[in-house]
A and B are shown apart, each in its own frame.
Chain A
């Protein structure tokens, strides 16, 4: 083969090899792009938590409580009193407490002195720790109680003040603009859904002390609810 022809053939081989390779790669990308256009990306969308314990029944109760006892429900419905709570829940006190059973790791019991609505340091600390551990939860429940000593009216008022103390502390500490939409407040006095001894195992602000039924109910039960309504 003469030199010119060889040169030409080698040159053509180089041109075609490079050209065909680049053309093939580029068109393949164009075809793939055409195939994927219009398809929704397979990426999860950010959303609040919806844990397995959020059964239909629980969601119904939550919706009722938030509608009737939520802070955003209106001036006349800023929290629920014991009678309202009983009506809203439409269930016995035991069943009401049982609803919160799956929340044992997400809830805390802020304990108060007898006949007092003053948050102590341990209570404030546990409250802040629990509230800041919100994760993907959408709603925060504050359920305040009083032990049976004293009159029903006094205990109703006392539990109301305990719930308010908790809310005031959260408002002051966290300045959350959504707090009106996310908090459900119930004060139950001594009349409805008293906590029994099994709640002694839950996170309490006075872990070193005795855990009698009376001490357990001088409290505000707080919990983030990981349910989407």
Chain B
């Protein structure tokens, strides 16, 4: 039902009021004799920014949703979507943001969570719809532009929050996200300009209550347009089969070579993480685990698996050059291994670049940062320990990839170590706790 005070007839842009058989919506134009003509150019600009927002949020949603098949996909990372190659290497800021814990919400409730780009798509679609609708108006009451400003403030606020998260938590920006930020700001500024140009306050015979009714109606429309993609996504997304969790454990989990790095985590649940200190996916995984809160329940021991041909015969090309030398530093560090690992994660790009040239450059960097390790790295004894770490991997017939996580000797599927981590890890923890009769 329309809000009180609204006629159940419509007023055409040109022509008399006619009976309207359908339930009428609030008439934004009725009685607007003193409202100004719409600033069409401004509304066109507003619509263009909203359309840009639809495109960027759509691209971002598409890339996220594509990963629901648990495979690896190249993603769009261009300020002009469709132009330029997609990022297949995972090196772009867009990949870092997509795989970060901030790209979606409610991750423990559903695999991958609900991508934040999805409601953004709904919001921009709504703003586009409103802008086009206003373009057709003969008069533009200020209550219309007031609502547009309020509606456009939502993506602006969200963009500010996410820009801060990108800068402070993720440490990189995603070009598609920047597109969304710009579109948000553009819509907001255009809405303000449209409001300023809308002229004097309308003389609305139905008064303030009718404005509230109109805004409430638009608000419901907006909520519906945001809820629609989210609900469709939740209903149609693939269910996670329990059979996927029936993975094999480690054949020889014992540390007979003495190569595991004990992080002395505060958790109670024993876990083993196989990692390469210069692998970006391992760094991102570590961040996701920390951000999820579930990592606090684990007592993780690391086994080093440098994917660097300097010490690893299982790779023909070094995927992460320099990681053999950094692995030596981790083994040399003993109880300070966590500090060395944090340093290695923070300096991955630099260390990989050095490793691609000359190993001695990596050793020099390690010795500069940790002078106390100078007498240990590069020596036969620690090289043999790195080799033993690789032999532990061989003894357990693990796939040649990093990272890998085993919780109470149950493997978290490799496909679930990124977007599905929170959902799957919470289930693995619940299963293992249930199996042991723990709360």
Interface residues of A (CB under 8 A from B): 2-8, 10-11, 13-15, 17-19, 21-23, 25-30, 32-34, 36-37, 41, 43-49, 128-129, 131-136, 173-174, 176-178, 226
Please state if A135 and B313 are interface contacts (CB–CB under 8 Å).
yes
Interface residues as binary, B191-230 with A (CB distance below 8 Å gives 1, 0 otherwise): 0000000000000000000000000000001001100110
* Interface set, chain B 328-384, CB cutoff 8 A to A: 380-381, 383-384
CA distance in complex: A4, B23 (Å): 10
Q: 29 A-B Cβ contacts within 8 A?
A: A3-B29, A4-B10, A6-B136, A11-B129, A14-B225, A15-B224, A15-B228, A18-B121, A18-B229, A22-B61, A22-B229, A25-B62, A26-B65, A26-B237, A28-B66, A29-B67, A29-B69, A30-B238, A33-B238, A36-B71, A41-B399, A41-B414, A46-B396, A46-B397, A132-B384, A134-B387, A136-B390, A177-B257, A226-B313
CA distance in complex: A8, B26 (Å): 12
Q: Tell me, rounded to whole Å, the shortest Cβ–Cβ distance linking B309 to chain A.
A: 10
Residues from chain B with Cβ under 8 Å of A177 in the complex: 256-257
Please state if A10 and B129 are interface contacts (CB–CB under 8 Å).
yes
Interface contacts beyond A22-B65, A29-B67, A46-B393: sample of 7 additional A-B pairs, CB < 8 Å, sorted by A:
A18-B228, A22-B121, A25-B65, A30-B236, A44-B314, A45-B398, A47-B394
Please name the residue on chain B nearest to A12 by beta carbon.
B129
CA distance in complex: A187, B122 (Å): 79
Please state if B237 and A3 are interface contacts (CB–CB under 8 Å).
no
With A6-B133, A14-B129, A25-B62: A128-B380 Cβ-Cβ less than 8 Å: yes
Please name the residue on chain B nearest to A20 by beta carbon.
B232
CA distance in complex: A37, B413 (Å): 13
Please name the residue on chain B nearest to A226 by beta carbon.
B313
With A4-B25, A22-B229, A30-B68: A132-B314 Cβ-Cβ less than 8 Å: no
> Which single member of A21, A43, A174 contacts B58 (CB below 8 Å)?
A21
Residues from chain A with Cβ under 8 Å of B109 in the complex: none
CA distance in complex: A29, B64 (Å): 10
Q: Is B388 in the interface zone, CB < 8 Å from A?
A: yes
Please state if B381 and A132 are interface contacts (CB–CB under 8 Å).
yes
Q: Is B429 in the interface zone, CB < 8 Å from A?
A: no
Please name the residue on chain B nearest to A137 by beta carbon.
B313
Residues from chain B with Cβ under 8 Å of A32 in the complex: 69, 71
With A18-B229, A177-B257: A8-B393 Cβ-Cβ less than 8 Å: no
Residues from chain A with Cβ under 8 Å of B244 in the complex: 37
Q: Is B106 in the interface zone, CB < 8 Å from A?
A: no
> Which single member of A15, A25, A136 contacts B61 (CB below 8 Å)?
A25
Q: Is B28 in the interface zone, CB < 8 Å from A?
A: yes
Q: Tell me, rounded to whole Å, the shortest Cβ–Cβ distance linking B386 to chain A.
A: 9
Interface residues as binary, B113-139 with A (CB distance below 8 Å gives 1, 0 otherwise): 000001001100110110011001100
Interface majority SS (helix, strand, loop, mixed), chain A: helix
With A23-B232, A132-B380, A136-B314: A14-B125 Cβ-Cβ less than 8 Å: yes
CA distance in complex: A48, B62 (Å): 41
Residues from chain B with Cβ under 8 Å of A18 in the complex: 121-122, 125, 225, 228-229
Please state if A19 and B229 are interface contacts (CB–CB under 8 Å).
yes
Residues from chain B with Cβ under 8 Å of A174 in the complex: 381, 384
Please state if A33 and B70 are interface contacts (CB–CB under 8 Å).
yes
> Which single member of A3, A10, A46 contacts B13 (CB below 8 Å)?
A3
Report the count of interface residues on B (CB-CB < 8 A).
67
Please state if A3 and B314 are interface contacts (CB–CB under 8 Å).
no
CA distance in complex: A41, B12 (Å): 62
Q: Tell me, rounded to whole Å, the shortest Cβ–Cβ distance linking B310 to chain A.
A: 10
Q: Is B401 in the interface zone, CB < 8 Å from A?
A: yes
> Which single member of A4, A11, A13, A41 contacts B27 (CB below 8 Å)?
A4
Please state if B125 and A134 are interface contacts (CB–CB under 8 Å).
no
CA distance in complex: A85, B399 (Å): 39
Residues from chain B with Cβ under 8 Å of A133 in the complex: 383
Please state if B399 and A45 are interface contacts (CB–CB under 8 Å).
yes
* Interface set, chain B 410-432, CB cutoff 8 A to A: 414
Interface residues as binary, B6-46 with A (CB distance below 8 Å gives 1, 0 otherwise): 00001111000010101011011100000000000000000
Please state if B68 and A26 are interface contacts (CB–CB under 8 Å).
yes
Please state if A135 and B238 are interface contacts (CB–CB under 8 Å).
no
Q: Tell me, rounded to whole Å, the shortest Cβ–Cβ distance linking B406 to chain A.
A: 14
Please state if A22 and B118 are interface contacts (CB–CB under 8 Å).
yes
> Which single member of B10, B13, B399 contacts A44 (CB below 8 Å)?
B399
Residues from chain B with Cβ under 8 Å of A45 in the complex: 397-400
CA distance in complex: A88, B137 (Å): 99
Q: Tell me, rounded to whole Å, the shortest Cβ–Cβ distance linking A171 to chain B.
A: 12
Residues from chain A with Cβ under 8 Å of B58 in the complex: 21
CA distance in complex: A5, B29 (Å): 14
Please name the residue on chain B nearest to A22 by beta carbon.
B229
Residues from chain A with Cβ under 8 Å of B325 in the complex: none
The 6 A-B residue pairs whose C-beta atoms are closest, nearest first, are A132-B380, A136-B313, A29-B68, A32-B69, A30-B238, A14-B129
Please state if B380 and A7 are interface contacts (CB–CB under 8 Å).
no
* Interface set, chain B 57-90, CB cutoff 8 A to A: 58, 61-62, 65-71
Residues from chain B with Cβ under 8 Å of A41 in the complex: 399, 414
Q: Is B282 in the interface zone, CB < 8 Å from A?
A: no
With A4-B27, A43-B400, A45-B397: A135-B237 Cβ-Cβ less than 8 Å: no
Please state if B381 and A173 are interface contacts (CB–CB under 8 Å).
yes
Q: Tell me, rounded to whole Å, the shortest Cβ–Cβ distance linking B318 to chain A.
A: 14
CA distance in complex: A29, B12 (Å): 45
CA distance in complex: A174, B385 (Å): 9
Please state if B233 and A22 are interface contacts (CB–CB under 8 Å).
yes
